[in-house]
Amino acid sequence: MILNTSLMHGAQYHFRLHKEKLTDLCSDGFQQLEDYLLVVMKNCPSIYFQEGPRSSVLKFSVGEDLEELEHEVSLLARMGLESNYYDNAHMNVQMFMLSYDNKTIGIEIPIWLHKEEFANFENLLKSELPLSGHIDLVRIENGKIWIWDYKPNAHREKHAATQTYFYAIMLSKRTGIPLENFRCGYFDDKHSYVFDPNAIKI
């Protein structure tokens, strides 16, 4: 069963969870992730999303060590695009993966970060207001929580790693799950790029 809610956070975001996969894949050490996702599905504090910086518009490098892979998410993206059920590429990819990929547990997941939760927050982000964002896709893969962002023309992206790095930081802080359990990536239907957020020092 797919749980869903619409969030008005400057724009409309369709936050969705696959309940059965969520329960099954989080049962081995990631109960805090399931708990967080179910709580914000029912009651997301929208005040954090009205003002302040967004992870998707950060324009600086975090010095990531990217690895390009032939990853299954690119195949899933191709299949999602071919399904052409929705009127935009993002939604086609996201809904296909949530519905048919056995590792994807949620899409458009709301997350935020307070200034006291990250060293050098104000200097980096030029704000005292919470950082916020919505994660395109969260997967549980090989015992790790994977933060994935779908980026058409992924090979041209300059700051997608920064965006997904802060997504991982935010979800780690919101759930209390150590960052060592997270991995990050961005992809399109041809390219996939991954990195370990723990290797980043900023």
What's the pLDDT at 59?
A: 86
Q: How far apart are CA 79 and CA 143, in angstroms?
A: 25
pLDDT in tens, 114-126: 999 999 899 889 9
pLDDT at residue 96 is higher than 90? yes
pLDDT digits (tens, 9 = 90+) for 12-50: 999 999 999 999 999 999 999 999 999 999 999 999 999
Assigned token pair, 158:
């300059």
Q: Calculate mean pLDDT across residues 78-99.
A: 93
Is a pLDDT exceeding 90 seen at residue 63?
Answer: no
| Residue whose entry in the numeric block shows the structure tokens 């927050």 | 121
Cα(90)–Cα(117) distance, integer angstroms: 30
Could you tell me which of 8, 5, 3 has the C-alpha nearest to residue 21? Answer: 3
Contact 144, 183 (CB under 8 A): yes
85, pLDDT greater than 90? no
